[in-house]
Structure 1
């Protein structure tokens, strides 16, 4: 190597060293813990604490971190530091007492690239308040929380029972049928129509939603949120999220366009019609978000959220009753005594069916559908406990730590309907039962989900006895993405 080549090599090496040092230093400065910030494990540059975490068990590892670092701790998963709240009392205190300060969602690149600041889930401030208030008001108009909504759910219960009966006792995976049935309820409210279980296009859309929700919880989505400028250009599973979700958005947009052609503002059929009418009323208030694009994203949010969480809960429910046949038998005994076999169960039966109600609540608790809750962000500098949390910090109120809080539940890690029964066998409410979260961002579909879970679950157990396929031991293994759901399984539904 001559002198000139040596200096060229030295210059390249110097530039590379400088670049590496610069990147490490900039990451350190950007993500340095603020003064009096919650403690957490030691992190590495760029990747944060990802080396400490097995992604498929992140909700459980957060519980371990809380044991070591306290009920309020911080963690980095590629991006900026996140504050995690552990345990029922702390989550309740912070979400209720500082509700306004934790009412916003963070702007995450993956979601922003799809929906920008639109919709019911990802929007904030003035727009979000208007949209949430409008959605709740509209759903109440169409029967949410009232008996007038019950017939459409009972119709779907009947259709689902027929679909299960068509399996003739053979092993089958009930996931898609449950998805379709639950989705049809929200579709009736949003689109004013249902979709047959043999509708291949609709079934494909439901599969797309399942896959998107799984991928959104993977490390690929986290990488996208930290390196959006790079990940937008790289191939990988994260790109599939955009492809699949755009197909669902196209479906929603088609429904919206159909409504725009023939809707009558004096006789609204559903949420879309009501939104179109509101667009005319508030056309001068552009900040409220009553425009066609926001209608599409709001409808998408209702369609996806109204399908996935309830159907996944029912999917867990059928798994638990084939795992514990003695519990299934007790539910059926109560259904037979209260409802009989000549009519469908009704919401009015719920108060007379404490054991069935307790089993459904325990399914929700153990199913733990959204284990890390949906991220929130501090609107301003705030104090949580003894720690100072700067404005713009992501906050997670871990629902796993609430639903499995050892100071609140007698046997937190066991499936035990007794958690919701008193000494006399009457149903009892539990303060730490928060599967729908709480505070300003509590799930707006909670009342609908409660009705659906009771009617679908009791209707299925009235008609069928469920069991695993011959020689198969039911497994409670799960997969963790955007939601916590069972691994695919099969069961047999034998008419009673």
Structure 2
């Protein structure tokens, strides 16, 4: 791509000014690095330009594609310069697993994005490090389990939410519609019930606005403008549009979340928690009475709420939308799923325990997660100390990208890595198997804390929808015309599209 167009969508005078800034910065950079450290055996990589690094190599509309190609040339551990910042990329299942699982302590810290630091979004669970991260992760996991995550109580919440989603789909009467918003609302309500203690109506303007702003922000974080901002934050005014939109959305959601939390605080019962926020407020009050809230301060409360709300909505809803699109794309596979459901559970409500008797359906869900590859570069890691890894020296504090797309599409691990092939998860007898290289939730100490919730949601939502509907392209569109090319943002989501959800009764006519 033409990176200059992304870097300088400006007037000629602005371009001249920005070039001058770059030159001055280069002089400062050159002076600061005039006494280089002794060279060690560092990972290879493309030769960087001063200040720009390897930016001219980078496809800003799909950086994971660039890094995947680079791994073929430079190997499974290589260096890439994101502007002036040196990062190390890990590619391939065995390499990523060794770093994240076997060397978890050394590769287990986070490297927050510059765009998040200014808005104080590095508290909580996802981006934090050290004792604060450990305490907040332990607290979140413990309380999410207490409020039903991975248990029957949570299964009942998902089943209830399915009924609301089914009604929305039925109201379209077989006409084509965009599944994004109703699916987002349904999935978001599950995490809301665990965090706030209640669900919201799909026509609640405050709820829908919060979900839509969160979804928009996740897309913005992967945009070319914010990628460039993260590399060159001191040139922020040239990328102000996306950054300011991100900030407006953050501030609006923070205000709304503060109001929700305040409402819960006013009716707080220390003897009975309605959700994670209640549990946090009770713990905070107890510590405050003892003289020190420690890590249970308001920034960590807001950060944890934002982390759970965002991660608990976007990744699962995006995967579910991929699953429905793929079913419409491959009607023969959809029919096999529906036939298995008919034989095993009929018309009754599906339960999590049915999964073991639905191997093909389970394989389809897992293959959707593998092929969709919605977080291809994972969330950036950082080395906690100097590391010698696979013969290469990696300095403490180095940003590390575990390239999950290279794991989920590893040619040495998957028979048809670029195709939708449910047989990846079935043995010769048709029984479900899960290969070790299935790593959509990452791995190690930073593995997604909501994995069990996401797996339960995907299974119950997907099966319930397939029991009631047959998903088809819009009228006049063939299956071959449905496009599986992803829209790249903070996640790889389906490009805008519409589907028809045809009820079983109507499809039998």
The question of 1:302 aligning with 2:302 is answered no
Paired with 1:90 and 1:418, the residues of 2 have a C-alpha distance of 25
The question of 1:89 aligning with 2:94 is answered yes
Tell me: CA distance 1:19–1:326, structure 2 relative to 1, closer, same or farther (3 Å). closer
1:281 positional shift: 3.2
Paired with 1:16 and 1:244, the residues of 2 have a C-alpha distance of 30
TM-score by length of 1: 0.93
- Which position in structure 2 is the counterpart of 1:261? 266
SS at match of 1:102: coil
Query: Are the equivalent residues in 1 in contact too, given 2:225–2:242 (CA < 8 A)?
Result: yes
SS at match of 1:235: helix
Which has the larger displacement, 327-336 or 236-245? 236-245
Paired with 1:389 and 1:375, the residues of 2 have a C-alpha distance of 15
**Deviations 1:171-218 (CA, angstroms, capped at 9, x unpaired):** 100000000000000000011111112223322222211211111112
- Which position in structure 2 is the counterpart of 1:39? 44
**Deviations 1:390-411 (CA, angstroms, capped at 9, x unpaired):** 1000011110000000000011
Query: Are the equivalent residues in 2 in contact too, given 1:110–1:225 (CA < 8 A)?
Result: yes
The question of 1:292 aligning with 2:315 is answered no
Tell me: CA distance 1:32–1:154, structure 2 relative to 1, closer, same or farther (3 Å). farther
The partner residue of 2:331 within 322, 325, 332 is 325
1:412 positional shift: 0.6
SS at match of 1:277: helix
1:471 positional shift: 2.1
The alignment of Structure 1 onto Structure 2 pairs a total of residues equal to: 481
The question of 1:173 aligning with 2:178 is answered yes
Query: Are the equivalent residues in 2 in contact too, given 1:126–1:288 (CA < 8 A)?
Result: no
1:58 positional shift: 1.7
Paired with 1:352 and 1:225, the residues of 2 have a C-alpha distance of 47
Tell me: CA distance 1:273–1:462, structure 2 relative to 1, closer, same or farther (3 Å). same
Paired with 1:407 and 1:249, the residues of 2 have a C-alpha distance of 45
Tell me: CA distance 1:26–1:329, structure 2 relative to 1, closer, same or farther (3 Å). farther
The partner residue of 1:119 within 124, 129, 137 is 124
1:60 positional shift: 1.9
- Which position in structure 2 is the counterpart of 1:474? 482
Tell me: CA distance 1:16–1:72, structure 2 relative to 1, closer, same or farther (3 Å). closer
The question of 1:379 aligning with 2:387 is answered no
- Which position in structure 1 is the counterpart of 2:72? 67
Equivalences for residues 56-455 of structure 1 within 5 A: 56-115=61-120, 117-231=122-236, 235-283=240-288, 288-341=294-347, 343-455=348-460
- Which position in structure 2 is the counterpart of 1:492? 500
The partner residue of 2:56 within 51, 58, 73 is 51
Tell me: CA distance 1:225–1:30, structure 2 relative to 1, closer, same or farther (3 Å). farther
TM-score by length of 2: 0.91
Runs (5+) with no aligned partner, structure 1: 1-14
Q: How big is the alpha-carbon RMSD for the aligned residues of Structure 1 and Structure 2?
A: 2.1
